[in-house]
């Protein structure tokens, strides 16, 4: 930044940054205001102001937990997201390692193939998957999602880990193997610990993707007690053409908190993972 040109910093940095933040944070603000505002607010009442409330209330949150199955939805979502993330991470780490380190025939084209499967839109894939879920009688159980989410999570994790493993110097592993480690031990003791930031980022991404997933959850789960947050909130709190805006927003807000925590908790590792920094 050029010295003395303070206005430049404002014009080119602070103002655009503020606009950007406003744009990103406004939906959250709207969710908060709506979820703690009065239940019914006629637009023509005195001092009507949709951006602020003078009588904050927990009614919507209470409604959410007492009148709906929100607590079970939260639990379902957590369980499903954690389980599918775990499966995908294990597969993704091993597949990524194999594709980036073991020189077997067609490793390159296999890697590309895996990436292409990630590009197949879920909106098409759910039709054949629904058939499979039905055949195995998994419909309306958490397993229908735990086993289908990896179809897009594994390619994603594999691809991410492949890139990360490529950034880990080959010599580390070679040195370990000369030092007396088998290939398996070298991977376990050296390569994987070094790749932890990458594994964490893949995990956070996978967790977020499955937490937010909508289509499969909507199609494969039908009874209210089995639903996830994203489906439960939208299907149970919109009755006919009546939107229960207060509880809806409270649900959306509570649903986004775990993801926000996951991000901010791992953010250091996560950024390190994205920039792929392995310092010897």
Q: Which residues here bind another protein, judged by CB under 8 A?
A: 169, 171-172, 174-182, 185, 189-190, 193-194, 196, 278-280
Nearest to another protein of 129, 199 (CB atom) = 199
CA distances from 54 to 5, 34, 48, 106, 249 (A): 43, 12, 10, 65, 18
* CB 105, min distance to another protein, A: 13
Nearest to another protein of 45, 277 (CB atom) = 277
Nearest to another protein of 194, 231 (CB atom) = 194
CA distance 45 to 94: 61
User: Can you tell me whether residue 4 is helix, strand or coil?
Assistant: coil
**The residue to which tokens 């080119």 are assigned:** 12
Sequence-ordered alpha helix ranges (H) in 136-181: 142-146, 150-167, 170-179
Nearest to another protein of 167, 218 (CB atom) = 167
* CB 95, min distance to another protein, A: 23
Q: 226 CB contacts (<8 Å, ≥6 apart)?
A: 76, 140, 141, 142
Q: Of all residues in the chain, what percent are helix, strand and coil, respectively (each to 5)?
A: 75, 0, 25
Nearest to another protein of 190, 237 (CB atom) = 190
Nearest to another protein of 29, 189 (CB atom) = 189
* CB 196, min distance to another protein, A: 8
* CB 280, min distance to another protein, A: 6
> 268: which 2 tokens?
């250091």
Q: Note the Cα 139 to chain centre separation in Å.
A: 23
* CB 201, min distance to another protein, A: 17
Print burial letters for 39-73: b (CB count within 10 Å at least 16), e (below 16).
eeeeeeeeeeeeeeeeeeeebbbebbbeebbbebb
Contact between residue 259 and residue 75 where contact means Cβ atoms under 8 Å apart: no
* CB 139, min distance to another protein, A: 44
Nearest to another protein of 18, 271 (CB atom) = 271
CA distance 142 to 79: 8
* CB 205, min distance to another protein, A: 22
CA distance 157 to 149: 12
């Amino acid at each position: 930044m050029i010295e003395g040109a303070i206005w430049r910093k404002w014009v080119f940095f602070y103002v655009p940054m503020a606009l950007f933040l406003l744009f990103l944070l406004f939906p959250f603000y709207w969710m908060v205001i709506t979820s703690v505002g009065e239940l019914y607010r006629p637009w023509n009442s005195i001092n009507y102001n949709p951006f602020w409330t003078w009588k904050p209330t927990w009614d919507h949150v209470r409604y959410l937990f007492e009148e709906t199955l929100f607590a079970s939805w939260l639990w379902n979502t957590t369980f499903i997201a954690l389980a599918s993330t775990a499966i995908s991470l294990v597969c993704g780490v091993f597949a990524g390692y194999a594709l980036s380190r073991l020189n077997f025939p067609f490793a390159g084209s296999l890697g590309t193939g895996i990436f292409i499967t990630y590009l197949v839109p879920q909106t098409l894939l759910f039709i054949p998957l629904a058939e499979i879920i039905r055949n195995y009688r998994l419909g309306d159980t958490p397993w229908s999602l735990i086993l289908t989410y990896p179809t897009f999570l594994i390619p994603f994790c594999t691809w991410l880990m492949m890139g990360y493993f490529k950034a880990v110097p080959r010599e580390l592993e070679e040195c370990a193997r000369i030092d007396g480690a088998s290939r398996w031990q070298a991977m376990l003791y050296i390569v994987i610990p070094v790749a932890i930031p990458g594994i964490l980022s893949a995990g956070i991404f996978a967790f977020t993707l499955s937490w937010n997933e909508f289509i499969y959850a909507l199609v494969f789960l039908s009874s209210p007690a089995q639903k996830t947050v994203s489906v439960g909130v939208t299907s149970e709190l919109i009755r006919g053409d009546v939107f229960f805006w207060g509880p809806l927003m409270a649900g959306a807000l509570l649903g986004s908190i775990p993801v926000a925590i996951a991000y901010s908790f791992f953010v250091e590792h996560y950024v390190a993972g994205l920039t792929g920094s392995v310092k010897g």
